[in-house]
Structures are given as C-alpha cells and as structure tokens.
Structure 1
Amino acid sequence: MDLATETAKYVFPKRFESQNLEEALMAVPDLETVKFKVLSRRGQYEIREVESYFIAETTMPGRTGFDLNGASRSFNVLAEYLFGKNTKRETMEMTTPVITRKTQSDGEKMEMTTPVISKKLEDQDKWQMSFVMPSKYGANLPLPKDPSVRIKEVPKKVVAVVAFSGFVTDEDVKRRELKLRDALKGDRQFRVKEGASVEVAQYNPPFTLPFTRRNEIALEVERKEE
C-alpha cells in the first residue's frame, strides 16, 4: 500500500452534493464507499436506494448509549481485522463510512472504506459498529481471528438520510432520529419501515475539524401502498 497515495485520499477529500451551507462545508476522504442512488430530496432529508454490501461487525462494549470509549475499543477491534488479524494475511484498504447501528494481527490487510456504521441493540441498549468491506472481495472475505467480529451481507434497501457535521453524541443521535421520524410522517411516498432502527454513519478520521466532518443518520423506509 503506497503511503503517499493513501495520505492524498485524506489531504484531498471529496464532497457529496450539498443541500445547504453546513453540508457544503463537509468533506470526506477519497475512499471507496457504499454505492447508492438518490431517489428524491426533501427539505430536511433525502431518500436513497442503497446497494447491498458486506460488513465486518462487532458489539460495542461499555455503558449504554453512544459510548465514545466503547466506540474506540470497537474501532480498534475492527481495524485489527481489516489490517491483518484474519485468515488470509492480505492488506485490505480502508473504506467509508464507519457505521454504528441502533437495533430491536498477522493476516490479510484490507482496503479501508467509509462509512463507519453503528447500530443500537434495542433490548440491551447496546450499539453495534461495522466497517464496510471493500467491494472487490464480495463474499470471499477472509475470516476474522477474533470471535467478536462477524461478517455479514447487508441487503439492498431504501433509506431516509440526514447529514450533519460535528462530533456525534448520544443525545444528538436521539434528537436527530426523532426529528427525522417526525419529518417522515408527512412524506407522501415513503414511511419508516416497521422495526427500523437508526444507523449512524461517520466518514472522517478523528483529526478532522468538527465543521468539516460528515456524519449521517439513516432510517430504513418503504413505499406507501397506493
């Protein structure tokens, strides 16, 4: 992996199409990310059709809620898998985002992707963090050596997404989730899918300035019956 090439991906970031000034200032590393198509844009959110992708996932330890200490530990566990603590010993590139979901080594090194995604376990008030896996591997990903890391395929889905800058906090996630759910009540085409849980996608490394960070919250939706 060429260090200069990898560094350039962070020094010369890319931007998503923006809907407001806050979003226009956000930048993300020039890394592979989840493929999606924007179906429509609303005032407060946009509707995306997201292609299927594979993730490496682990449950975040620590206290309940969006725990920064637990997030750091989970990130390190997943990074170890990505950068070598697996069965094939090949370097895999970083991707974006890292995803946290809220829900009811010696080895192969992989390309890093974005986002990082986190998901909350409703029954335990826990979160799950996942790295999006490089698409070139498909289902042929190396197995993790750490039993706390799980490989899963996320099926194609439609989601409502809101982007925001700054650092992610538990209270901020709760507030933005409620606001998005309220906004979707007035949507004529889409509604929140029954049992849908909030996802938080984070695209930037920790050293990124708060106002240029890109975060997103998402809820899975479905079309309303005609």
Structure 2
Amino acid sequence: MAFPCLPAVRPPPRAVRARGERPRGRRPALTVVAAGTRTSSGAEARGSLVLALVSQALAASQRRAVDLVTEAAKYALPSGRFEPRTLEEALMSVPDLETVPFRILKREDEYEIRQVESYYVAETTMPGRTGFDFSGSSQSFNVLASYLFGKNTRSEQMEMTTPVFTRKEEVRGETMDMTTPVITKKASDGNKWKMSFVMPSKYGPDLPQAKDPSVTIKEVPSKIVAVAAFPGLVTDDDISQRESRLRKALQKDTQYRVKEDSVVEIAQYNPPFTLPFARRNEVALEVEGVDSAS
C-alpha cells in the first residue's frame, strides 16, 4: 500500500532578538568569586590612589618639617663656641653654623687677640655712605643671600655660615707731587662699606661665580686681629665709639699694636629675629706684633 507524500516538517523559526536583549528562559552566567575576596569598583580604585598620594604628601611634609626644625635649631640653640668672660657675653648666643677658624693668642679685660686662618668670602659694596642703615644693609644682605642660595653659575645652594662681616674700605685720594705744596685730590665717592658672607670651607677656591656682577669672590689671608664683643643692635655711632675705645685700649698693649692701614670690621653672628641682648657682635682691628713691626 502506498503512503501519501507528506510535506517536510520544519522547526519553528527562532524569534529574532533585538541587539543587547537577553535570551528568554536562560539565566545569566554567574561569576564565581573566591571566598574572602571582593571586586573593586572604579570609584574605590580612585579612592585608593588618592589615599596613597595623600600619604606620600604627608611623609614629604614630615621630612620637610624635620629639616625645618633642624635648621631652626642651629639658630635657636647656642653653639658654645665662645667662652664668655662677662655676664653680658654669657647672655650672647651664636648659631651652630660654620664660622671662621681662629685660635686665641691673648685675652684682656676689654678685648682678645686672635690668629685667624685664611678663608673665602662673597662680597658686595653697600649703597650709601653709612654701613648700618636698614635699607642699605637689607639690600646688600639680599644680594649675597641670593648668590648663596642658587643665583650662581652652578645654580648651587650652599649652606649658611656665620658671621656676616661689614667693613669700611677707605678710598685713598690721588696724590700728585707738585713743586709746592703736595696736593691730595679727594676721591669723589669717599669711604665705602662692604658686606661679606663667609663661604663654606669645603669649597676652598672652587666656588661658583656669581651671576650678579656686584658680587665678588675673594680670599681673605691669614691675619691677627684684636676683637671686642658686644650685644644689641649695631649703629654707625656705636661702631665709631667702640672702635675708638678698642684703639685706646690697644695703646697699652706691650705685645700687639694696630697696623697702620687697619680699618674697622664688624662681625654680626645672629639672624634678625634674635633679641638684642642675645645678639653677639664684634668690632675688630687688624694688629701686628710689636717685635715684628719694629
């Protein structure tokens, strides 16, 4: 018996899904996470990064704070470098910074004689005709400080030292021998004051040159000086009186006398915020042995 031909049975067509539509009747695949762990979102990652940066910033700030305290302690704590002779000198403080090397040859009630070793300075001429007016002193100090802290040919920052020296440089007149009389022509700029910073000894003569042409680097040769210490603020009138007092005291010295061409030099050891009674200043004159001078 013949069977009738039946049409082929086709499976029902699949439903067309829109792009991104989840298949019906199927559960989404599960992501298996190990016990004790969790996934981190982008916000959590950014938060962790911020915390890490904050921690680094705090650590850097702490290091800077320690450096600042260490540097401040050099100025606040006396170094004990000078042996006080009086109560007035005992109250004077000196920052714990590198200074000019010297040894004491003799001590008197009003002064002491020192043998000073050679050293290098950065020096500039001060504006004006006086050495201790606020404007001129500040301007000269800033010029030298700029050199010390990087305004030089190596852009190198050097350590601060003490003291700051200020000295009067007498400008000699031009002498012309005439038939009669001998005429001395006075220099137009008269006396000048110079300020200098002591350079760190580790450099020796190998110091960077200043970018500011008003700053010169020079070596100060070894010398013998008579020094008298005093506290307080420095003024021109005060220096004039103390220089005269020191010269008068040295007239009685049988071992040393003031050199003929000696000019007064003032050393200031303390930063501006030091109280006047705690400041150490010194007035100095170069001297020579009486035997060597004769």
Alignment TM-score > 0.5, same fold = yes
Residue type at the aligned position of 1:28: V
Asked if 1:169 corresponds to 2:235, the answer is yes
Q: Which residue is equivalent to 1:3?
A: 68
Secondary structure of 1:54's counterpart equals strand
Unaligned 5+ runs, structure 1: 105-120
Distance 1:102 1:90 in 2: 30
Secondary structure of 2:74's counterpart equals helix
Secondary structure of 2:288's counterpart equals strand
- Deviation for aligned residue 1:7: 1.4
Asked if 1:41 corresponds to 2:114, the answer is no
Asked if 1:81 corresponds to 2:147, the answer is yes
Q: Which residue is equivalent to 2:192?
A: 126
Residue type at the aligned position of 1:10: Y
TM-score calculated relative to the size of structure 2: 0.69
Distance 1:41 1:96 in 2: 22
Q: 2:279 aligns with which of 206, 213, 216?
A: 213
- Deviation for aligned residue 1:88: 0.8
Please show how residues 1-226 of structure 1 align to structure 2 within 5 Å: 2-15=67-80, 16-104=82-170, 124-225=190-291
* Deviation per residue, 1:104-144 (Å, 9 max, x gap): 2xxxxxxxxxxxxxxxx576222100000000000000000
Residue type at the aligned position of 1:206: P
Residue type at the aligned position of 2:276: P
- Deviation for aligned residue 1:65: 4.7
- Whichever structure has more helix as a proportion of its residues is 2
Q: Which residue is equivalent to 2:40?
A: none
Distance 1:80 1:18 in 2: 34
Distance 1:28 1:176 in 2: 21
1:48/1:160 contact within 8 Å kept: yes
Query: Which structure ranks higher in relative contact order (CA pairs < 8 Å, sequence separation ≥ 6)?
Result: 1
Distance 1:172 1:64 in 2: 12
TM-score calculated relative to the size of structure 1: 0.89
- Deviation for aligned residue 1:81: 0.2
Unaligned 5+ runs, structure 2: 1-63, 173-186
**Rg larger in 1 or in 2?**
2
Residue type at the aligned position of 1:205: P
- Deviation for aligned residue 1:37: 0.1
Residue type at the aligned position of 1:216: E
1:103/1:196 contact within 8 Å kept: no
Distance 2:96 2:131 in 1: 30
RMSD (CA atoms) = 1.4
- Deviation for aligned residue 1:10: 1.4
